[in-house]
A and B are shown apart, each in its own frame.
Chain A
Amino acid sequence: MRPAPLALLAGLLLGVASPAPAQEEKLAHQDWSFSGVFGTFDRAAAQRGLQVYREVCSNCHSLNLAYYRNLAGIGLNDEQIKAIAAGVQVPTLDDTGQPTERPGLPQDRFKAPFANEKAARAALNGALPPDLSDIVKARADGPDYVYALLTGYGDPPAGMKLGEGMYYNKAFPGHQIAMPPPLQDGQVSYADGTKATIEQEAHDVVTFLTYIANPEMEQRKRIGVKMVLFLLVLTGLTYAVKRKVWADVH
């Protein structure tokens, strides 16, 4: 018997990658700048996505794991980051120990729209908007799913009764979602002249959220390419050494 260890390993890897529970319907696959081995974040799209997050999503959704300083990763300079951070007031104590507020700094976390879960539910008809810091990693096929959700609103099929204050969304599990359609054509006006269609806005904010969920991605892939090249050379060298060492056996 001479089975090929590599083929079996590859089979194992593929085998375990596939048995995820089946999805209701296949998500349409979008073209993302960050997919693939050499994929990087489209800086312009991520910055437009930041604008969508700040003007639309951030009214309800927190981004608790992200700091303003993280925005350097999508190409904002120090001055821009300081300006964005200074746009919020964060709680602090004054010199006499009394609670007060100060303008935000780059080292502050993104300010959440609600003080706590109860406040959010009270303001939003009982619904709790999830934190978006990890949303792309916390859903299967995250980027495609979030895009499909944001562009998936429409009229319910005949015969489907929606609950009160609920909206039909073809991407959401169960197709009933408490979030009103967040994006419209022209919801934001982009400074770079890009036409703000729903699709464009969704694409941009998903790019931004994917960066927020994986701020290490570009470094990770760069290191990966180097390690793979290194290991390929090392494998070759090791094989050559093995041939030499074993030459006098058999």
Chain B
Amino acid sequence: MAGLHKSEIENPVLAWIDTRLPVITLLQKEYGVFPTPKNFNYWWNFGAIAMVILGIMIATGIFLAMNYTPQKDMAFDSVERIMRDVNFGWLLRYAHANGASFFFIAVYIHMFRGLYYGSYKTPRELLWMIGVVLLLLMMATAFMGYVLPWGQMSYWGATVITNLFSAIPLVGESVVTWLWGGFSVDNPTLNRFFALHYLLPFVILAVVFLHVAALHVTGSNNPLGIDVKSPQDTLPFHPYYTVKDSIGLCVFFLLYVIVICFFPNMFGDPDNYIPANPLATPAEIVPEWYFLPFYAILRSIPNKLGGVVMMFGAIAVLFVLPWLDTSKVRSARFRPIYRLVFWLLPVSCVLLGMVGAHRPEEPWLTIGRLATLYYFAHFLVILPMLGRFERPLPLPESISQPVLRGGGPLPSHATAQTMEKP
């Protein structure tokens, strides 16, 4: 029939829908039979995990918003009312607050996986850049969400972070006044942060859609970092990776539930259970753990504008990473030097995180400066140079080849089981 989509769905009701709006065909194509490299390891779980956590954050967030009051004299008490008097409100709130931490854990692991296996390289540059945009959006959302309970750390964290913009030459002070909607962090700030904190997750959702759409054009990278050569190299996404992702999700949920139910405040700062008081500055103003490395970079530079520039620069280098890394080989498995050097990056990030949690005194100041130096050198010096003189190991011919050894016919079960699992 003219103008109607040719659907292969058998169920008459679904077929009726699918011929007019082929969403079922689309789902089948993108999540059902979608050809996925057969050799993913469990590090490939974290994209799916991050997506599920985003869903949980939006779901819990909507119910929290139904009970929250974005007014400076009522915000703290309304959160306490959620904790004490709303049915399962404590579960909503602890799941949401800790969900932010687990979202960052999942996304940071997802990113380091991309860094190790070269997932940012041609043809996936745009996919990676969309991912960096997602990270920025997440950071903005998390920051504004942390302000909403209007505790001491909410208030003073918001003051410190918004004040960073005052480092902009000439217009800095005006920009900060404009951000605040007044001359200090106050009710207008809380109102707009709440509005944006409700808006941005849906922007994130839309950008996640673009991230997945871009992924489904290029197809996934894989632990060998080589292109898919034949259908033999792939498996349909369902059921192979739906079930494999489910295992990672279960284990991740286990940790998430343990934190929510037994250590619900382990990521939080005790000061945030004290209502915001503009007249009393807390002894230490510390951001949430997922911002600590960036906070450490900020404080490593003995100049306000310089510190702010470096902090944003730490994300900017990720944005241009596909052009900084000159090696054509994706996976670190075949890059004998990079596979060692790579580990210095997570080490420097963890060090920066520890530095961010301590006062800027010795020895932390020096450690912070060295780690900052390394972080930037890793991207701006080591990666561009390494691609030029590193001699990569020979790449396998195809994803099936390391299993097939010599490219024989389809493997029998007996031989296949002795081989390395993908």
Residues of A within 8 A of B (CB): 1-3, 5-6, 8-10, 12-13, 15-17, 19-22, 37, 65, 70, 130, 133-134, 137-140, 142, 173, 213, 215-216, 220-221, 223-225, 227-228, 231-232, 234-235, 238-239, 241-242, 245-246, 248-250
Contact = CB atoms under 8 A, between A and B. Distances in A.
B292 A19 contact: yes
B250 A235 contact: yes
Contacts of A223: 91, 261
A223 B413 CA distance: 44
Interface stretch (B155-163, B185-193, B283-291): B283-291
B264 A239 contact: no
Given A216-B83, A221-B261, A250-B419, A228 B38 contact: no
Contact of B270 (A138, A232, A239): A138
In the A-B complex, the 9 residue pairs with the smallest Cβ-Cβ separation, listed nearest first, are A224-B261, A19-B357, A138-B273, A235-B250, A250-B416, A216-B90, A16-B289, A134-B273, A137-B273
Given A238-B250, A250-B416, A220 B91 contact: yes
Given A228-B257, A246-B240, A238 B247 contact: yes
A1 B339 contact: yes
B262 A250 contact: no
21 contacts: A9-B255, A17-B266, A21-B357, A21-B358, A22-B358, A65-B77, A70-B84, A130-B274, A134-B80, A134-B274, A138-B271, A224-B258, A224-B261, A224-B262, A227-B257, A228-B254, A228-B257, A231-B257, A242-B243, A242-B244, A246-B243
B353 A227 contact: no
Interface stretch (B4-12, B41-49, B125-133, B199-207): B41-49
Contacts of A17: 266-267
Main secondary structure of the interface of A (DSSP, over half): helix
B198 to A, nearest CB: 25
A15 B350 contact: yes
Contact of B84 (A5, A139, A215, A235): A215
A138 B264 CA distance: 13
A3 B42 CA distance: 9
Nearest to A142: B270
Contacts of B354: 19
Contacts of A130: 274
B109 interface: yes
B286 A21 contact: yes
Contacts of A216: 83-84, 90
